[in-house]
Amino acid sequence: MIKKIVFGQPIDTGTVVKSQKTESPAPVPGRETGRQMPADEPAEMQEQVYTGKDSEIPYFSIRWQKDGAEAVLTCGLAQDDMIYGLGENVRGINKRGWIYESNCTDDADHTENKRSLYGAHNFFILDGMRAGGSGRRLGVFVDAAQKVIFDCGYTDSEELTVTVSAGGFVLYLLEKESLHDIVREFRRLIGSSYLPPKWAFGYGQSRWSYMSADEVREVVRRHRENGLPLDSVYLDIDYMERYKDFTVDKNRFPDFPEFVEEMKGEHIHLVPIIDAGVKIEEGYPVYEEGLENGYFCKREDGREFVGGVWPGRVHFPDVLNTKAREWFGGWYKSLLDQGIEGFWNDMNEPALFYEEEHLKEALEKLGEANVENMDIWGFFDFKKTALGIASRPEDYAKIYHNMDGRNVCHEQVHNLYGYYMTRAASEAFDRLEPDKRLLLFSRSSCEGAHRYGGIWMGDNQSWWSHILLNLQMLPSLNMCGFLYCGADLGGFGSDTSEDLLLRWLELGIFTPLMRNHSALDTRRQEAYRFGHQDDFRNILKLRYALLPYLYSEFMKAALNDDMLFQPLSFVYPEDVFASQVEDQLMVGESIMIAPVYCQNAGGRYVYLPEEMKLYRFRGLDSVDIEILPAGHHYVDAALNEVLVFVRPDHLVPLSYGGEYVAAVDNSRLQLLHFVKTKAVYELYDDDGYAKNVKLEGNITKISVDSSGEITVEGAAKPECRLM
């Protein structure tokens, strides 16, 4: 059962899909938009409009602040209640104890004191079904485009408070027996997840920036020479002509279409970046078309809003306007026509280095500072003025959108901007390449964007703690529909080290988006730049060996509105210890991972909710195998070892690897196995490109009984052997 409660006159975010079965009163036509939910799985929904007089809200009490403009929803928390979800955020899998803000923010320092990052993900599960809990198990989704604050026991340890700033919103309450069922119900509510092409599951190499075609060629050559598998190279902002979207610098990348084809001959896909800001420059077609047609965001007085990003002075496409969104999305064709098959959208919170008028005010104030005898308070004021130029809330409030005839201040829709930029590209791809999956992922997002592309976790740092942060974000993002996701392996900012990169790759081989990315002026961190090339090679080869399983589990999760990564408590809900484990994850149906994320560690503590078989990989041809009983263990894991735990009566199909995804042969498979009675695995596979896919006709059933006999039936007949 889903309860839908409407407060005020909410802006239609486009997050919730249309096809819902409702009980009285009927939904307002046009209020819910999005892709269709499967017709045979309607959600049962009750809708009420909150009047503020005689209406009551299930589970929550409500009060109004700021003269009734701000809604505050509150419920009590029992001692052992847990809070899951909220997508891309700092801290652990259980979000209790901290305060989070859904307010898409360009912030590269992902430290524990931060309240918001690049995404705004407003779904969480309150789980109080364990001993000492409240007895409630409830999914909560706040469908709002404006800022929302989730105080998860921070101000008062026994209270959960959700504060929604000025504007209407819709509250959805989802009641199911299990955590897993709540997630599936929510995912059906918001629509199916984006499907990337199969090649996008290969290893990618990135840098801010590879400055020329020759530098890209060198990166590819060094990977191939060292036997390091690779499928993609990412082009950061310097491939452009003076940071102008949809342009290519002809001096650095001459004959770009020929270069794209040359790379495809090496089985390499080039993936260029697209930023939100459009450079203000006469003679630049994107700028001139947008200006002529009124497709840029405005100020309240109707003038185009001017901000500053990489190119200097820019306008922002008003992607919340249907015509402007179609226009901006159409420009991706300029690169598709040159052979490009994937993009990453960036700076779309939108990032704002400065607003032109405030910049002038700040420079004037700084110029008046007493620099000859600046005391501590003068210095603090000087510093505050200088650092306060970027991403000021007051400057965002100067931006206005034309939402198909409705003039809306950016404050009311801030969290939608990155989502709608991704939607602009995806809808264009549907028009331009209707039968072909293209790679698309974004930095900024909110629920709804998951239907159109994936995300990466933004500008992290080369810190050991960010390996754990990477791990803990994965299930929270999956709950919100973002299945194609991953972090910058090795860390984006700061300088990585060989051991840090190895350990991070040992987690990264399990994430759908597997990309090594680093920032300008940091240490180069391509794998071939370090010693112990055998170790890097073996880890990357293991990723390609795992592709049959990872792709299968990803596609089944996407097509079934399920999760790829789950906390242990979702799979073992009655296990009290499992609910406390924050550094292990279930990956698909068959395996558990427990990566090492501490410097100089030669192993780690692992909790097993049930007996499992451990495969300790140093390479495909160097594996230790042991069966461990349920309980607590210290498990050795040398720097070059990857731990894979297989559940009882489960299988994991492995290929024999390849230097790129297209070279992976699914007709010959090895099976990781832990068979006590009988294990059956349903292997999904397809051509990796077609958009309209389904499970039927793409499943091969592989069975192994207790004697080791293998049976294969279904769509394909791979040759299988036990490993």
| Domain residue ranges in the chain | 2-190
d(CA 680, CA 651): 7
Assign a CATH topology to domain 2-190: Immunoglobulin-like (2.60.40)
Query: In the predicted model, what is the mean pLDDT of residues 475-486?
Result: 98
| CB-based contact 232:269 (threshold 8 Å) | yes
| CB-based contact 584:607 (threshold 8 Å) | yes
Q: What integer best gives the mean pLDDT of the chain?
A: 94
* CA-to-CA separations, 238 to 245, 340, 395, in angstroms, rounded: 11, 17, 27
Q: What is the pLDDT of residue 53?
A: 66
pLDDT of 673 above 60: yes
- pLDDT tier, 49 (very low <50, low <70, confident <90, very high otherwise): confident
- pLDDT tier, 399 (very low <50, low <70, confident <90, very high otherwise): very high
Sheet strands (E) in 55-122: 61-65, 70-76, 82-85, 99-102, 119-120
More confident residue, 190 or 369: 190
Residue 345 sits at φ, ψ, to 5 deg, of: -90, 135
Query: In the predicted model, what is the mean pLDDT of residues 449-466?
Result: 98
* CA-to-CA separations, 413 to 44, 314, 356, 419, 448, in angstroms, rounded: 28, 20, 22, 11, 14
Tens digit of each residue's pLDDT (9 = 90 or more) over 213-243: 999 999 999 999 999 999 999 999 999 999 9
Query: In the predicted model, what is the mean pLDDT of residues 412-433?
Result: 98
pLDDT of 319 above 60: yes
d(CA 25, CA 9): 16
Task: Return all residues near 130 (Cβ < 8 A) that are at least 6 apart.
Answer: 80, 82, 576, 579
pLDDT of 35 above 70: no
Its pTM stands at 0.95
The two most distant CA atoms of the chain are separated, in Å, by: 85
Q: What is the pLDDT of residue 43?
A: 61
Q: What is the pLDDT of residue 133?
A: 83
Tens digit of each residue's pLDDT (9 = 90 or more) over 328-357: 999 999 999 999 999 999 999 999 999 999
- The structure tokens listed for 426 are 């995806």
- pLDDT tier, 37 (very low <50, low <70, confident <90, very high otherwise): very low
* CA-to-CA separations, 294 to 265, 325, 411, in angstroms, rounded: 42, 12, 20
Q: What is the pLDDT of residue 69?
A: 82
Helix (H, G, I), strand (E, B) or coil at 61: strand
d(CA 640, CA 502): 7
pLDDT cut 70: percent of the chain above it: 96
More confident residue, 703 or 24: 703
* CA-to-CA separations, 593 to 85, 472, 577, in angstroms, rounded: 20, 12, 16
Q: What is the pLDDT of residue 33?
A: 29
Beta bridge partners of 119: 445
What length is written for the chain? 723
Sheet strands (E) in 211-294: 232-235, 269-275, 278-279
Query: In the predicted model, what is the mean pLDDT of residues 57-78?
Result: 91
pLDDT of 124 above 90: yes
Query: In the predicted model, what is the mean pLDDT of residues 393-422?
Result: 97
pLDDT of 444 above 50: yes
- pLDDT tier, 20 (very low <50, low <70, confident <90, very high otherwise): low
Helix (H) or strand (E) holding 478, with range, is: helix 465-479
- pLDDT tier, 19 (very low <50, low <70, confident <90, very high otherwise): low
Helix (H) or strand (E) holding 378, with range, is: helix 376-387
- pLDDT tier, 22 (very low <50, low <70, confident <90, very high otherwise): very low
- The structure tokens listed for 412 are 């009311």
Q: How many CA atoms lie within 13 A of 482 on its CB side?
A: 36
Beta bridge partners of 403: 406
- pLDDT tier, 372 (very low <50, low <70, confident <90, very high otherwise): confident
pLDDT of 25 above 80: no
Q: State the Rg of the chain over Cα.
A: 25
| CB-based contact 555:195 (threshold 8 Å) | yes
More confident residue, 641 or 21: 641
CB atoms within 10 A of CB 361: 12
pLDDT of 631 above 80: yes
| CB-based contact 565:586 (threshold 8 Å) | yes
Nearest to 275 by CA among 305, 231, 317: 317
d(CA 643, CA 183): 28
Query: In the predicted model, what is the mean pLDDT of residues 269-290?
Result: 98
* CA-to-CA separations, 503 to 284, 411, 498, 635, 637, in angstroms, rounded: 45, 41, 9, 15, 10
Q: What is the pLDDT of residue 66?
A: 83
Task: Return all residues near 49 (Cβ < 8 A) that are at least 6 apart.
Answer: 5, 6, 25, 55
Tens digit of each residue's pLDDT (9 = 90 or more) over 498-523: 999 999 999 999 999 999 999 999 99
Helix (H, G, I), strand (E, B) or coil at 305: coil
pLDDT of 55 above 80: no
- pLDDT tier, 40 (very low <50, low <70, confident <90, very high otherwise): very low
> Does the CA dihedral 236-196-255-659 come out positive or negative?
positive
pLDDT of 627 above 70: yes
Flag the least confident range among 133-137, 190-194, 200-204, 243-247: 133-137
d(CA 429, CA 356): 34
By CB atoms closer than 10 A (0-12, 13-18, 19+), residue 110 is buried
| CB-based contact 77:159 (threshold 8 Å) | yes
Q: What is the pLDDT of residue 370?
A: 84
> Looking at this protein, which amino acid is placed at residue 492?
F
